[in-house]
Amino acid sequence: MKSHVRSRVQCEPYAGRRLVFLALAASVPLLCALALFVANARASEDRLSMALADFYLVDSSGEVRDQNAEHDARLKRFDEIMHDELSKSGKFSLAEMQCPEAGCTSKELQLDDMLDRAKGAGARFVTVGAVEKMSTLVLWTRFEVYDVPSRQIVFNRLLTFRGDNDEAWRRAALYAARELIKNAPVK
């Protein structure tokens, strides 16, 4: 009987070590999750909060053929590319503005209203822009970035591109996004 008691006494220190080991092993995933949470929070603090208004088209080409459906699809794709590229860059945290049914374009909204909507969405900056079709061959896109609190323009670009087709618009959107990522304000 005494030997049985001794074996229990000898096992207790190992059981305690085992519990400590299990507790430490269980806490490692929790510590990793906490570290990832803190890293993500810091990364989102480092990203610029940007509201991106929809681009709109000004067609001054005088062409007879109705191209509204084609241009609407290209504008939609242009906006999608801008959103995707800015999101993927890691530089921006895109804020979604509450928009009227007609959309959030600087054609539909006055600048003050756009800035108020961007502020309501929690954005530090708002980007507005347009595409103008001068002819079948020559188009340009212009965009401006405004600092929401000061309501001042802090960056703008005018980019020309050639060709009124899907590929030309796609390339123009990619280039515009790269310009914004590379040159937009840093705080």
Tens of pLDDT, residues 82-136: 999 999 999 999 999 999 887 889 888 999 999 999 999 999 999 999 999 999 8
Query: Which fold does the domain 47-183 belong to in CATH?
Result: Rossmann fold (3.40.50)
Q: How far apart, in Å, are the Cα atoms of 78 and each of 71, 85, 124?
A: 10, 11, 23
| Distance between CA atoms of residues 111 and 158, nearest Å | 19
Task: Inform me whether the pLDDT recorded for 46 exceeds 50.
Answer: yes
| Main-chain dihedrals φ then ψ at residue 20, nearest 5 degrees | -60, -45
| Residue 39, Cβ density class (10 Å: 0-12 exposed, 13-18 middle, ≥19 buried) | exposed
Tell me if 145 sits within 8 A of 156, measured CB to CB.
yes
Nearest to 82 by CA among 186, 178, 185, 182: 178
pLDDT score recorded for residue 38: 39
Tell me if 121 sits within 8 A of 95, measured CB to CB.
yes
- Among 22-26, 102-106, 170-174, the range scoring the smallest mean pLDDT is 22-26
Name the pTM for this structure: 0.73
Tokens of 131: 């595409």
What value does the CA radius of gyration of the chain take, rounded to a whole number of Å?
Answer: 28
Q: What percent of the chain has pLDDT over 70?
A: 74
pLDDT score recorded for residue 37: 45
Instruction: Please give the sequence-ordered ranges of beta strands (E in DSSP) within 2-95, or none if there are none.
Output: 48-52, 56-59, 92-95
